[in-house]
Chains A and B, each alone.
Chain A
Amino acid sequence: MGMKKFISLVGKENRHILRDRWTMAILLIMPVVQILLFGFAISTKIRNIRVEIITEKRSEALNRFVSKLDANDYFIFKGYLNESSDIDSEFRKDKADMILHIKGNLDNMSGDPLQNIEVIADASNPSMAASEQLYSLKLIRSFFDRGMKKAGKKGGIHVKFLYNPQLDSAYNFVPGIMGLILMMICAMMTSISIVKEKETGTMELLLVSPTTPLNLILAKMVPYFMISCINLATIMLLSVYLLGVPVSGSLIWLCVVSVLYIFLALAIGLLVSTVMDSQLSAMLLSVAGLILPTILLSGMVFPIENSPAILQWLSCLVPARWYISAVRKLMIEGLSVRFAIMEISVLAGMALVVVSISLKNFKNRLA
């Protein structure tokens, strides 16, 4: 009997959502759009760095170096400059992003070649300059490595990027988008759909009926839970097959952590709905209190490690921070689940606290 009532309620919630075609479409398409946006439009990866080279003498080795540079995806060789050229004006006229100053003859270079090469980059965009410098050092390094080994010399510092050898920003934002989308759909949509019933007065109708509040809430959560699972699958498929971000760790544990996070987000939505009385205020609270912190404090866009201490403390309250960190470990770094125990316990603890507070709140409102 109880089950039948529950199924009636779930059916009703499904119809509400299915009938609102536009909202439904937005919910399903949003992750696709975000992945495409972050994956292709807002890429922090730099390509086509325009390089000019200052040199005294064009040697055979330099020719080989230039052709290797030009063949590389990241660089475009724009031409040679003289020692006397005005470097400043090259940047100001936007002819180059980076200039390499090669001192001496590359053919018979004594000592570490890096000591004879100066990398000059336009640092008006510091993160771009830093990336340009990293890429070029790596290229120079690998070019000279073979020759140096032959000569029995050791080079300077080796730079090696683990887990994400291409320095592909997709590795960073895929976990972020998962954290953001799931929070948005679960928390915001559940809270709005419960508050909507308060606004229209239909909530009273359900409360005077013999259904229990728990049934009522669970029925509200079922459809959003399903949509979230679809979104999760969409994001993962797109990131694996379109962006080439692999699931290096255990897929099962990744799903377990995601389901835990979805559950927590649904509970937060319920909590919001017990505090707010109108759809507008529920939405504002969700955006200001959940979505913004998810974007700003979760490490999705800005590294938390660089924030002031107080923000770092605050970020510990943001569920997405823990979720994103767990996804990074399980999906990108391919670590085993025991390295994510901290994150999982925090998420589980949060879920427990939020569920008990919101259920208590929900019942209290009846008195």
Chain B
Amino acid sequence: MEQRVIEAEHIVKKFGNFAAVDDISFYVEKGEIFGFLGANGAGKTTAMRMFCGLSRPSSGKGMVAGLDIWSASEKIKSRIGYMSQKFSLYSDLTVGENIRLFGGIYGLDEERMKKSGDMLLKKLDMYGEKDVLVKSLPLGWKQKLAFSVSVIHDPEIVFLDEPTGGVDPVARRQFWELIYEAAGRGITVFVTTHYMDEAEYCDRVSIMVAGKIVALDTPANLKKSYGVNAMNDVFTIIARNAGRNE
């Protein structure tokens, strides 16, 4: 059996009477690219924040990187990477300074910092931009840089919260090449998105509606069981059904 790096059992997050995350259970295997889909407000980000230790569930059990999210949330933090929906580097620092900062707070030593930093710049073909302020880079570059920085410490899992918002399809395609490359290194990728073409790139996807996971399978199986040819259609059918039930 594959090793499970994320496990969620009956996780609930309530704000007052409103259940933003309403009893979800699933697992993610090591090295998998797991797509966490859903419309805006479906509870994706709320669920993800609980796995990253940014908030605590109201009830339910969860394990991330083999550690309990209730008792070991601080330990989990050094084993994961995170890139948020909003742009997540310091725009008034240079490319090199951002790399050093995040290398530093994730506890990389001098030697490893230099090695990983150089490798990262070479891979992104940004060696010439090392001393450029991040705010003067194009958005697509910033996002690729942000992703590379979020895995600079070789985490077990990287959480990506709508990482490609606002960039063109070509830049998105390049971004996904970086994701595949990280997954190839054994880093598990947990990604939320509402671009359905991106859902096709995932190994497995879950679809959340109103706080619940209503579908979870490989993109191919989902398309087959809904009898359609694209993930976009799967999503449309699910959204329509959800609308009818309300």
A210-B77 in contact (CB<8A): yes
Q: Is residue B80 contacting chain A, with contact meaning CB distance below 8 A?
A: yes
14 additional contacts, CB 8 Å, given A15-B93, A201-B88?
A: A5-B107, A8-B103, A12-B90, A12-B97, A12-B101, A15-B97, A201-B85, A202-B88, A208-B159, A209-B77, A209-B102, A210-B77, A212-B74, A366-B54
* Chain A residues, Cβ within 8 Å of B229: none
Q: Which residues of B contact A15 (CB under 8 A)?
A: 92-93, 97
Q: Across the interface, which residues of A come within 8 angstroms of B86, CB to CB?
A: 200-201, 204
B82 and A205 within 8 A (CB):
yes
Which residues of the other chain, B, contact A211 by a CB distance below 8 angstroms? Answer: 105
Q: Does B184 contact A (CB under 8 A)?
A: no
User: Is B87 at the interface (CB under 8 A from chain A)?
Assistant: yes
Task: Specify the chain B residue showing the minimal Cβ separation from A19.
Answer: B92
Tell me how far the C-beta of A362 lies from the nearest C-beta in chain B, rounded to whole angstroms. 13
CB <8 Å contact, A207 and B54: yes
Q: Which residues of A contact B159 (CB under 8 A)?
A: 208
Q: A15, A206, A209 — which one has the most chain B CB atoms within 10 A of its CB? A: A209
Check B104–A4 contact: CB distance below 8 A: yes
Q: A16-B90, A202-B88, A204-B82 are in contact. Are A8 and B101 (CB under 8 A)?
A: yes
- What band does the interface of chain A fall in when counting residues whose beta carbon is under 8 Å from B? 20 to 34
Interface size (B, Cβ < 8 Å)? 30
Contact of A305 with B by CB under 8 A: no
A367 at the interface (CB under 8 A from B): yes
**Which B residues are within 8 Å of any A CB, using their own CB?**
52-56, 74, 77-78, 80, 82, 84-93, 97, 100-107, 159
Tell me whether B74 and A204 are in contact (CB under 8 A). no
CB distance from B75 to the nearest CB of A (A): 8
Query: For residues 193 through 230 of chain A, which have their beta carbon under 8 Å from a beta carbon of chain B?
Result: 200-202, 204-212
Q: Pick from A9, A12, A19, A367: contact of B55, CB below 8 A.
A: A367
Q: With CB as the reference atom, state the residue of chain A lying closest to B79.
A: A210
CB-contact partner of A8 in B55, B85, B104, under 8 A: B104
Question: Is B104 in contact with A210, judged by CB distance below 8 angstroms?
Answer: no
Shortest beta-carbon distance from A367 to chain B in Å: 5
Contacts A200-B86, A201-B85 given; does A9 touch B92 at CB 8 Å: no
Contact with B along A1-33 (1 / 0, CB 8 A): 100110111011001100110000000000000
Q: Which residues of A have CB within 8 Å of B74? A: 210, 212
Q: In the bound complex, what is the Cα–Cα distance between A210 and B54 (angstroms)? A: 12
Is A11's CB under 8 angstroms from B101's CB? Answer: yes
Q: Within 8 Å CB of B89, what residues of A?
A: 202
> Cα distance A16–B91 when bound, in Å?
10
CA distance A255 to B11 in the complex (A): 53
> Can you report 12 A-B residue pairs in the complex whose CB atoms are below 8 A from each other?
A7-B104, A12-B90, A12-B101, A201-B85, A201-B87, A202-B90, A204-B86, A209-B102, A210-B74, A210-B106, A210-B107, A366-B54
Asked, given contacts A7-B104, A11-B101, A367-B55, whether A210 binds B84 with beta carbons under 8 Å apart, the answer is no
Closest to B150 in A: A205
Least Cβ–Cβ distance between B180 and chain A, in angstroms? 23
Q: Mark A110-127, 1 if CB is under 8 A from B, else 0.
A: 000000000000000000
Complex CA gap A218/B20 in Å reads: 34
Q: How far is the CA of A211 from the CA of B56 in the complex (A)?
A: 18
Chain B residues positioned under 8 Å from A202 (CB to CB):
88-90
The interface residues of chain A lying within 8 Å CB-to-CB of B106 are 209-210
Closest to B55 in A: A367
What is the distance, in angstroms, from B55's C-beta to the closest C-beta of chain A? 6
Nearest B-chain residue to A201, judged by Cβ:
B86
A20→B92 contact, CB < 8 A: yes
Q: Are A201 and B77 in contact (CB under 8 A)?
A: no
Which interface residue of A4, A20, A205, A366 has the most chain B CB atoms within 10 A? A205
* Chain B nearest Cβ from A164, distance in angstroms: 46
Q: Which residue of A lies closest to B75 (CB)?
A: A210
Select which of A5, A200, A204, A205 is within 8 A of B104 by beta carbon: A5
For residue A87, give the distance in angstroms from its CB to the closest CB of chain B.
67
Contacts of A19 in B (CB 8 A): 92-93
**B105 and A9 within 8 A (CB):** yes
What separation, in Å, do the CA atoms of A19 and B92 have in the docked complex? 7
Contact status B107-A205, CB under 8 Å:
no
Determine the distance from Cα of A15 to Cα of B106 in the docked complex, in whole angstroms.
19
B105 and A201 contacting across the interface, CB-CB below 8 Å: no
Chain A residues in 8 Å Cβ range of B100: 8
- Inter-chain contact A12/B52, CB cutoff 8 Å: no
Within the complex, the shortest CB–CB distance from A212 to chain B, in Å, comes to 8
Considering the chains assembled together, what is the distance between the CA atoms of A201 and B74 in angstroms? 20
The residue of chain B having its C-beta at the shortest distance from the C-beta of A12 within the complex is B101
Q: Cβ of A8: which chain B residues have Cβ within 8 Å of it?
A: 100-101, 103-105
**Which residues on the A side are within 8 Å of B80 (C-beta)?**
208
Q: How far is the CA of A74 from the CA of B106 in the complex (A)?
A: 67
* A20–B56 alpha-carbon span in the complex (Å): 37
